[in-house]
Amino acid sequence: MPNKYKLSPSASERFLVCSASLPYNVDFIENEATLKGNLQHEAAFLRLDQLFNNADHTKRIELLTDYKHEFLGKNPNLMVKWDLDCEKTVNNYITYIKKIVYEYAPKKILFEHRMKIAFYDNRMNGIIDCAMVLPNDDLFIVDLKTGRVKVDTTDNNQMLLYASGLIQQMYDKEKSLSKNVIISICQSLVNNTKAVKYSLDQVVKWYRSHAEKMEEINSGKLRFNPTTKACKYCQHRAECDERIRKGVI
């Protein structure tokens, strides 16, 4: 049975390690970093949509990338502006996408691709920044990261959830089963752009490796398992007795 908690790919590095973190996975709180990330993601999507799909977003792009324009969030007291870091991040991301397209000649390119991910009787919402279907039906997934904290590409649960979901979706819609998935992080501010190839068997093995943890979650028998990586962005970090008892930094 599905559990009572809302699962999201972005929180998977926590709940797939420490299931007891789930009750503390509160609603998203917007801040300056996340708002600037939204600004860059929107500008990148519009530019790519214009480049590859002949859409016309000229006015919106000019507004978003105007150094004087105040980009507002849901909080009326919060605003950010386009700057040189935004310029570098988005330009390098677009250059990277163009390089992949030139090298692999994909038959389909999807930007800001929304999908449902089935995962042990649960369904998660996912948004892939860029997904490509290659001529041999293999998949290439790219995630734009705008922060300065380096994100690992290898064994990245969020990215492997995206891979699993996209494989499911392509099979449901087109009855094609991808034999390989390439997942990639593009994080220019820390010179972190890397691609890792996974076979279908490796993705299935990764999926099966989380059976025990998902049984904890679906049964409601949550267990603490503090680790440095899982605890890093956990909302319960400061008050977690188990983390403190085990000396996890």
Contact status, residue 143 vs residue 131, Cβ threshold 8 Å: no
Domain residues for the domain of 230 are 222-249
Q: Is residue 4 part of a domain?
A: no
Mean pLDDT across the chain: 94
Say if residue 78 is in the same domain as residue 167: yes
Helix (H) or strand (E) holding 113: strand 108-119
Query: Residue 1 pLDDT more than 60?
Result: no
Residue 181 lies in a domain: yes
Average pLDDT, integer, range 2-20: 89
Residues 14, 246: Cα–Cα separation, whole Å:
17
pLDDT (mean) for 224-247: 92
Give yes or no for residue 108 having a pLDDT over 80: yes
Q: Indicate whether 193 and 226 sit together in one domain.
A: no
Nearest to 83 by CA among 97, 71, 73: 71
Q: What is the mean pLDDT of residues 63-74?
A: 94
Mutual angle of helices 32-53 and 84-104, in 10-degree steps: 40
- pLDDT tens-place string over residues 150-208: 999 999 999 999 999 999 999 988 888 899 999 999 999 999 999 999 999 999 999 99
Same-domain status, 81 and 203: yes
Q: What is the pLDDT of residue 30?
A: 85
Mean pLDDT of 16-25: 92
Whether 154 and 34 map to the same domain: the answer is yes
Cβ contact 127:144 at 8 Å:
no
Please check the confidence at residue 72 and state whether its pLDDT lies above 60. yes
* Same domain assignment for residues 71 and 185: yes
